[in-house]
Structure 1
Amino acid sequence: MLRLMGLAAFASMASMRVTDPMLVALSREFKVTTGDASAVIAAFAVAYGVLQIVYGPLGDRLGKARVVAFATAGCAVFSLATALAPSLALLVAARALMGAAGAGIIPLCMAWIGDRVPYDQRQVTLARLMGATVTGMMAGQWFGGFATEALGWRAAFVVLALLFGTAAALLWRHARADAARQPATAFSLPAYLAALRGLLGMPRVRWVLAMVGIEGVLGFGTLAFVPARMVEGFGMSAAAAGGVMVFYGVGGLLYSLLARRWLAWLGEQGLVLVGAALVATGLLLLAWAWAAVAAVLGCLLAGLGFYMLHNTLQVQATQMAPQARGMAVTLFACVLFLGQSTGVTAVGFGVDRGWLQGAFSAAALGVLVLGAAVSRQVRPRSARAQ
């Protein structure tokens, strides 16, 4: 089941990042600025974030695997709608629907792991799932650029629809058996609102949500404009810019493969501090790179550092409210992607005014402050070993 969830998560992350290298081409086709074209990213992120408050209780009541299967099927349908969009407005709307469907995949996969894996093994297991999501991100960013140059950007969404459809069919066969362990229960709006108030009333929950919201603004908000930096700063094609973004994913994949070893060496606090330092270094290289090779190194370092930081926050999310883990983890994802949409909008405003370097530099400083704040609250290595 974990492998099938990994396949769905791969497709979900590929769909999330596939438009990053398309922004310049979309701005030309629809005759808008790059910042305006970034609405296709922001719309996906907003819908992805807001719908988490729906998928959390659905997963807790209907079975997380069953909801993941339905959400994956929805992504197949809306990916086709995206491929057929005749205008930027309809493209943005289709991407929003795609984000709304995709919201039910990765966070509920995380919650499913949280239900079945002990805390001491959870970071490593989540890192395996992260390996699928990072690979999906790499594939999406590369294929988005390749399709834009060689096939037309619409072809990328046709391929994604086929991938989602295959994953949904395989998941559904196994989800029925998994759901037998968690029979469906009736939904009650008053009970849901009471549970939500209870979660938000917990100081630990509020702290984790605040940290991940800031991470979304600083990390994902800047990530969306790295391909535009490659195209406009170094004269790369969309395909080449998407290829450079693969190195961000390589950094994340490197972390997922070595997560157990690095966790033993550094502990959670060390992962956070080293990760924040690497992200800041990568962003500064991307902002002020004098040559494309320095920007490629910046992508690699930023990806490695981001997943060190983010995986630690994911673990905190799975443990912040075990009695309502589905709702808690999807609320975590909601805030993360609302932060992303805020960051994309803010950085897009700066990009249109020639402030990209300043925006990336400010984000680098912010990530260092974030890392220091998170490191104070996670368990030290000695406590984790007990």
Structure 2
Amino acid sequence: MSQTDEAKDAVRHDTVAHPMSAVFSMTLCVAMLIASEFMPVSLLTPMAEGLGATAGQTGQAVSVSGLFAVAASLLTATVAGRIDRKIVLLVMTTLMLVSLVMVALAPNFAVLMTARALLGITIGGFWSLATAVLMRLVAPAKVPQALAIMYTGQALAAAFAAPIGSYLGGLIGWRGVFWVLVPLVVINLFWQAIALPALPARSRLTFSNLLGVLFRPYFLRALGAIVFTWGSAFTMFTYLRPFLEGVTGVGVTTLSILLLVLGCAGFIGTWLAGRLAGDHVGRLLVAPPLVMGAVTLGLLAFGHSLVLVAVLLAVWGAMNTAVSIIWMAWLSQNVDDAPEAAGSLMVAAIQASILLGALIGGLLLDAFGIGATFAGSIVMALAAILFVGSGRSLLKH
């Protein structure tokens, strides 16, 4: 690296004594966030029985966290103003801890929903700042690798949180499962306090800053691609279980194995994206909707074959973790002058598209059946491909 490059690196990131320890503390936070967000899915029935609510009502515990995540992703960086970003992240982790304790102690449905709203604030706040913080912890050339490390936490939680939660729920009850997460979050809180350096805000983010980034032509087009990419993914994924049970004809044990295959494949996607995103991010942007849309089409065509379904789900799972790394690497390279504003807008778009994807998929399922739901996912994937094109129009000039 030349002296000029080193000088640029010094400007772009803070001096951190142990940057990888800081990155790994954020990795654990990601794992806890994903586990906390989706744990009710694996514990839906016992939670509903314990709180005197219906399964459908309890399922809204996932939706409400997503709703508050959209708001928090837009407001965190602006409301935080010039507050040290380390303090903001520690507050977010503390809110996650409070949420878990409230869920474990929840006497009724209203307390559960309040706790999940707090978790949503953590989700939106953390993700809106995460990439910007990583860009300050490591040199620009190391950002894709740091992103891959952080998203390993997502892969871990996606692979193991649901099956472990379901198993432990049968042994110690659903409240016990949430209590198990509490000491892990406490450890994470202390780790972050020690490992993260002071990260003073470099400028005050305002809504005019957000609008300035939003209306950059290449960024606005990128948001369109993001909305349809994640919308496509969650239109299919949210209703994967009814497809596997109704079309493939699997039982609970086989279903758990298939979901484990999907989750474990995420480690491969994380590794590949971390290696490739640094130099090829423009060309990689089309890969998620292309591959995931093709997998969904393959499931419609070959859904009766268990072996082919397992292979297709492994491919989907690998791309499911890669997509976040690819897009956040794109952010670090193309909106590096305003990463917090870009992160806020991108996280809001992602969370909103997840909610809309699940909503559209459910409407199609009730009206026309699971085939229509998967077809809707494929249409969204095609729209995302059109927005991305060759990828060149999404790069800053």
What does residue 234 of structure 2 align with? 220
Q: Deviations over 1:21-79 (max 9, x none)?
A: 34466567756465x55322221111112101222236672233332222112101101
Shift of 1:88: 4.2
**Does structure 2 retain, via aligned residues, the 8 Å contact 1:284–1:298?**
no
**Does structure 2 retain, via aligned residues, the 8 Å contact 1:60–1:326?**
no
What does residue 202 of structure 1 align with? 216
**Does structure 2 retain, via aligned residues, the 8 Å contact 1:141–1:243?**
no
Q: What is the alpha-carbon distance in structure 2 between the residues aligned to residue 352 and residue 45 of structure 1?
A: 22
Q: Partner amino acid for 1:64? A: R
Q: Partner amino acid for 2:238? A: A
CA pair 83-183 structure 1, distance change in 2 beyond 3 A: same
CA pair 84-315 structure 1, distance change in 2 beyond 3 A: same
**Does structure 1 retain, via aligned residues, the 8 Å contact 2:28–2:153?**
yes
Q: What is the alpha-carbon distance in structure 2 between the residues aligned to residue 228 and residue 85 of structure 1?
A: 30
Q: What is the alpha-carbon distance in structure 2 between the residues aligned to residue 184 and residue 273 of structure 1?
A: 34
CA pair 253-75 structure 1, distance change in 2 beyond 3 A: same
Give the secondary structure class of the aligned counterpart of 2:285. Answer: helix
Identity of matched residues, %: 17
Q: What is the alpha-carbon distance in structure 2 between the residues aligned to residue 289 and residue 281 of structure 1?
A: 13
The answer to whether 1:373 aligns with 2:387 is yes
Task: After TM superposition, list the pairs within 5 Å mapping 1:241-280 onto structure 2.
Answer: 241-259=255-273, 261-263=275-277, 267-280=280-293
Give the secondary structure class of the aligned counterpart of 2:125. Answer: coil
Shift of 1:90: 4.0
Shift of 1:317: 2.4
Shift of 1:7: 1.0
325-334 vs 82-91, greater mean Cα deviation: 82-91
Task: After TM superposition, list the pairs within 5 Å mapping 1:90-239 onto structure 2.
Answer: 90-175=111-196, 178-179=197-198, 182-183=199-200, 192-230=206-244, 234=249, 236-237=251-252
TM-score by length of 2: 0.80
What does residue 302 of structure 1 align with? 316
Q: Deviations over 1:278-301 (max 9, x none)?
A: 312332455562154444333211
TM-score by length of 1: 0.82
CA pair 335-259 structure 1, distance change in 2 beyond 3 A: closer
**Does structure 2 retain, via aligned residues, the 8 Å contact 1:21–1:241?**
no
1-10 vs 21-30, greater mean Cα deviation: 21-30
Q: Deviations over 1:225-272 (max 9, x none)?
A: 3345445664533x76455323232222102223355558x9335433
Shift of 1:335: 1.3
Q: CA RMSD in A?
A: 3.3
* Matched residues, number: 372
Shift of 1:186: 9.3
Q: Deviations over 1:78-128 (max 9, x none)?
A: 012122334445433322221212323244222112234455443233122
Of 292, 304, 324 in structure 1, the residue corresponding to residue 338 of structure 2 is 324
Q: Deviations over 1:180-227 (max 9, x none)?
A: xx446896xxx6122223222322332222222222322134323334
Q: What is the alpha-carbon distance in structure 2 between the residues aligned to residue 311 and residue 162 of structure 1?
A: 28
- Higher gyration radius (CA): 2
Shift of 1:378: 4.4
Q: Deviations over 1:299-337 (max 9, x none)?
A: 211122233443222222234433332232122111100
What does residue 80 of structure 1 align with? 101
Of 354, 372, 377 in structure 2, the residue corresponding to residue 363 of structure 1 is 377
What does residue 54 of structure 1 align with? 75
* Structure 2 residues without counterparts, runs of 5 or longer: 1-21
Q: Partner amino acid for 1:57? A: T
CA pair 372-145 structure 1, distance change in 2 beyond 3 A: farther
